[in-house]
Amino acid sequence: MTSAFTGLLAYPITPLAEDGSIDLDGLEALVATAVSAGADGVVVLATSGSGVSFDDDERDAVVRGAVAAAGGAPVHVGTAGESAHRVVARARAAIHAGASGLVLPPFAYLPLDDAEVRALFARVATAVPGAPVCFYNKPVQLGVDVSPDLLATLRDDGSVVAVKDPASLPSRPGGRVPELRAAGVAVGLSGDTALVGGAEPADAWHTGLAALAPAEYVAVRQARVRGGAGADDARAWLLGVAHAVAGTGRPVTALHAVAALLGTPTAPPRDALVPLTPADEAALRDAVARRP
């Protein structure tokens, strides 16, 4: 089994019909468009894809549809769950459905300590031996901030091959790619405003916005790899959209709104309890309308 937690990894939303059912055609179109535009892989059912809001049959349909639409490009799957038992079941199902790898946050009702994190990832490694895993580090949301030492231990345990880390946090606005690389894993960054705005070089960018505007994001990523020159119009537009999304305080709901504005009809995500304000909707419309 191979994996590619490198390059530009697009995280599509899971489009929904008005009755709340999954629009598989819409999802497959997002995946196919991202891959054809040059994205190096996709990740479904993670945060942008509202993965925890779907049952087992729905998740299976999403993974199989994405794998078919990707045409051989890597399809990774978010496997967060409310218990280790659920995580293991979702990991097995994802690999059985054709996933190339797993994106796993240390999610639990209470924040996990290092020993508990190691036990969780060990259970996944035992359940799906050989399946590559990307550690999804979400310290603000989950209360766990993976250290380079723990990453190295998880790598040595035989499961984790990559990490997805915030490109910027108040405690470390400049990121920490060199420290994480010392753990011997591929280092990917997340956070659209930081990525587009000039985050430090990394092995991968993990981004939901790239699944909605892949051509622009590919151009910006390629310019960054070349040394930063070029794609100025695409960068300015993406940065404006990213700021508008972040400004809502409800990023997944905002990504659904941006998807609709860019031609992928969708209802709001199932787990959205509060809709966007009229001011937020107007800001998103204005930002999207500036597309070069």
Task: Quick: pLDDT tens for 179-236.
Answer: 999 999 999 999 999 999 988 889 999 999 999 999 999 999 999 988 867 899 999 9
Asked whether residue 287 is assigned to any structural domain, the reply reads no
Strand stretches in the chain, DSSP E: 7-10, 41-44, 75-78, 101-104, 133-136, 160-166, 186-190, 204-207
Tracing tokens 């549809």 back to the chain, one arrives at 65
Whole-model pTM: value is 0.96
Q: Is the pLDDT of residue 275 over 90?
A: yes
What is the number of alpha carbons within 13 Å of residue 270 lying toward its C-beta?
18
Asked whether residue 251 is assigned to any structural domain, the reply reads no
Asked whether residue 254 is assigned to any structural domain, the reply reads no
Quote the DSSP letter at residue 33. H
Asked whether residue 213 is assigned to any structural domain, the reply reads yes
pLDDT at res. 80: 95
Asked whether residue 1 is assigned to any structural domain, the reply reads no
Of all residues in the chain, what percent carry a pLDDT higher than 90?
Answer: 90
Task: State the total domains in the chain.
Answer: 1
Domain that holds residue 222: 7-230
Asked whether residue 259 is assigned to any structural domain, the reply reads no
For 90-102, what is the mean pLDDT?
Answer: 98
19: tokens are 């009755």
Q: Is the pLDDT of residue 163 over 90?
A: yes
For 106-111, what is the mean pLDDT?
Answer: 88
Asked whether residue 136 is assigned to any structural domain, the reply reads yes
Q: How far apart are CA 191 and CA 193, in angstroms?
A: 6
Asked whether residue 159 is assigned to any structural domain, the reply reads yes
Count CB-CB contacts under 10 A for residue 263: 10
CATH number for the domain spanning 174: value is 3.20.20.70
pLDDT at res. 2: 40
